Structure 1
């Protein structure tokens, strides 16, 4: 097994299995964040794309699927296995990523803020279309052959609609490798708890929050406080959020706080071309989500047990559908809540909203997800006075806030809770999908509390199974 991404870093998940001359890639993600990481997206893999027989995807986030069009552009023609919901979401994600790649390259060439002549997209819409044609949906708990002597099975991971662990059986060796993907959380709205797994010979588990324990769930109190204080200043709340998973939970909480009359009813704009389609998929697959979003019952003033019909609706919800409408929202001075992607403020329409709102101290930017090192979101949380957007320095005078409790990644306690369900320790547990500090902290904790054998492989490191 070769670790081609998410090795002592969070993004770029790609793990190459080589079994009896056959090659299967588990996840096919983009590197994000620091420039030194993003440059890896342009570097050749240590294996020809044509030599890879199949790809197995754990879920549809860009850092797990976003390299797929690039791989197809390099000649990959095998099947791409994933759950049905992941297939639906991946089609949206890949189309959006290709469009952004082409738009960013065109803008860089037009405004000449690039050192490359000309700037090129990492992949094109044509590459993304060809990648989508290779998707092979398979339901949970259904073992399927993905290459000769290699069988894979998806198990619910509770991280995102359609997310899974990939349980891979190597038949000639009689071994099982569990690729944990991204591990979800317990007792959260929207997503169900991650399923227990009781054994594997080799385990890969994420360590994104290996040195942290999330804020206790405060029943929306902090979000309510931030919205109320910003509304009192007649400002806007800008919420950069991933269109997959996070926007849905943000809308759930805003709708709930409105229903319970804990915040004023404000216009809520969802400004993400991808979000409209994603929300449609979430609504069509409510049976795969947590019971909290199907027929929600809240206290609504004096009317107890108020039934909320739409899981992701607010009183004044508007899903922005056009660029002119987006510009009108940007230029409006009315108090409002604007939910837009990307979640780390690295691209997408949220950047245009930030250009208009960051210089005004009445406004608030509220981050509700992980901010990778080197991203604009991380820099703002660390207190930068200016941030560069589309080639210009924008002053950061707005209030910058973060809510940690909404994360979709398991924290240190939750990872240990999941690991303790194993009936016997894996022969080897590899920590992936984490920066060095949280990864090392989690390694020390697992060794101390469970006594397991662990490894923290580096980029392109190989191990024998």
Structure 2
């Protein structure tokens, strides 16, 4: 009996990861991500899946980032009632990320309605905070390195992928086939997270390609961030740092704590973490000490040097402060959340700075800022960009092209096929070519909606 694999997201784009596996009348979804970035991609979130949610029997999550987990509340609201298997770290982070995602979508819809800025009357959220909270009841954490049955006769095993807390690769054994989903792979030299574990043997490998056409520069985050923030402090400006609440926020906070300790930055430089989600995620690190490189002293130093901003009123109060300061706020690609208010307030002043800390998917505000555009649209208004823009090349939490090849090469045997996924087309095709020429393995870049029979 055949096994089929359908690419419902994360194919030809770096967002919306969803891979549907069918066998013996059963259907399982690996990852359940939101599309972000370009409007045609975001519109896919509003279109029904080609499979009814009630006809999906189980979900496996590689990790908690919204481009891998953020569609789950919608799937559950529309009829999915099966189990969602993940690691304990992913369960803990989803409990933070998913309700926050629903809350932000409600806030954005309310703002558009209050100011009559939407073409739709009324503007609606994709899903609500309550939808997200209901979906959390479906999560079933499983330990890494221990096989389990997501469906009768199907076996799955998590191995650590680095990247963020709880991130895993998934080996799925079904119908006599071994399918390996890399998830998002971290860097072996990451400042924060431990290195990904080597891959197990598989017949088919789906490998991410976010940075498949790049090589990360030598050096650490501190080498780039230190001189930039020292310039900022000297001229009395405000740095707005859009961060991913999980992973990137903690990397930047740890880097700043180290820079202060070594004297590169003044210890008095105020640092604010204005993201309740990032605050909660940071507090999780102490409960998952085996997944990251920080000891308790480093965690406490990071906390001591940061003012945690919880309420909206506290966030608004940051605008009344004077003098140099650093404001970290979600989201990492400036697609929503409180960071938009900080950008609207500070982007127009040449003394200030916008620090971009990771991959900026095409079509996002972050990508437009990185490209040097002189203005961006926020809440229906054009906001001038006069602040210095710094894009960190060393802060990525993804393996680069060479590191992805090294991870594949560590496989006990060559797979019969490699599918290059979760990357913009240029990055995915560059990695496909490198796999074919360097490893001499059959490799392809699937298109959205493709189905493979294994």
TM-score range, shorter chain: over 0.9
In the TM superposition, residue 288 of structure 1 has moved relative to its aligned partner by 2.3
Assess, with a 3 A threshold, how the Cα gap between structure 1 residues 278 and 218 changes in structure 2: closer, same or farther. closer
Verify: 1:460 aligned to 2:446, yes or no. Answer: no
In the TM superposition, residue 99 of structure 1 has moved relative to its aligned partner by 0.3
Structure 2 match to 1:150:
154
Structure 1 match to 2:26:
22
- Taking the aligned partners of 1:204 and 1:236, their CA distance within structure 2 comes to 42
Secondary structure, aligned partner of 1:463:
strand
> Structure 1 length normalisation: TM-score?
0.95
Q: Could you tell me which of 53, 56, 66 is aligned with 1:52?
A: 56
Secondary structure, aligned partner of 2:219:
coil
Structure 2 match to 1:179:
181
- Taking the aligned partners of 2:410 and 2:32, their CA distance within structure 1 comes to 28
Secondary structure, aligned partner of 2:407:
helix
Unaligned runs of 5+ in 2: none
Structure 1 match to 2:341:
352
Verify: 1:267 aligned to 2:290, yes or no. Answer: no
- Taking the aligned partners of 2:317 and 2:137, their CA distance within structure 1 comes to 37
Secondary structure, aligned partner of 2:300:
coil
1:62-81 alignment to 2 at 5 Å?
62-81=66-85
Structure 2 match to 1:312:
302
Q: Could you tell me which of 392, 395, 406 is aligned with 1:403?
A: 392
- Taking the aligned partners of 2:266 and 2:301, their CA distance within structure 1 comes to 19
Deviates more, 1:280-289 or 1:251-260: 280-289
Q: Answer whether contact 1:388 1:394 (CA < 8 A) is retained.
A: yes
Q: Answer whether contact 2:86 2:139 (CA < 8 A) is retained.
A: yes
RMSD, aligned CA: 1.1
Structure 2 match to 1:304:
none
- Taking the aligned partners of 2:173 and 2:199, their CA distance within structure 1 comes to 14
Deviates more, 1:426-435 or 1:325-334: 325-334
1:279-321 CA-to-partner distances (Å, cap 9, x unmatched) read: 111122223212xx1156xxxxxxxxxxx56153353x20011
- Taking the aligned partners of 1:417 and 1:312, their CA distance within structure 2 comes to 32
Structure 1 match to 2:359:
370
1:360-399 CA-to-partner distances (Å, cap 9, x unmatched) read: 0000100111100000000011111111111111110000
Unaligned runs of 5+ in 1: 297-307
Q: Could you tell me which of 361, 368, 372 is aligned with 1:383?
A: 372
- Taking the aligned partners of 1:356 and 1:334, their CA distance within structure 2 comes to 15
Runs of 4+ deviating beyond 3 Å: none
Q: Answer whether contact 1:156 1:195 (CA < 8 A) is retained.
A: yes
Q: Answer whether contact 1:102 1:121 (CA < 8 A) is retained.
A: yes
In the TM superposition, residue 149 of structure 1 has moved relative to its aligned partner by 2.0
Secondary structure, aligned partner of 1:310:
helix
Structure 2 match to 1:208:
210
In the TM superposition, residue 35 of structure 1 has moved relative to its aligned partner by 0.2
Structure 2 match to 1:194:
196
Q: Answer whether contact 1:79 1:134 (CA < 8 A) is retained.
A: yes
> Structure 2 length normalisation: TM-score?
0.97
1:103-182 alignment to 2 at 5 Å?
103-170=107-174, 173-182=175-184
1:191-245 CA-to-partner distances (Å, cap 9, x unmatched) read: 1000002410010000111110012124612211000111111101111100001
Structure 2 match to 1:294:
295
Assess, with a 3 A threshold, how the Cα gap between structure 1 residues 309 and 319 changes in structure 2: closer, same or farther. closer
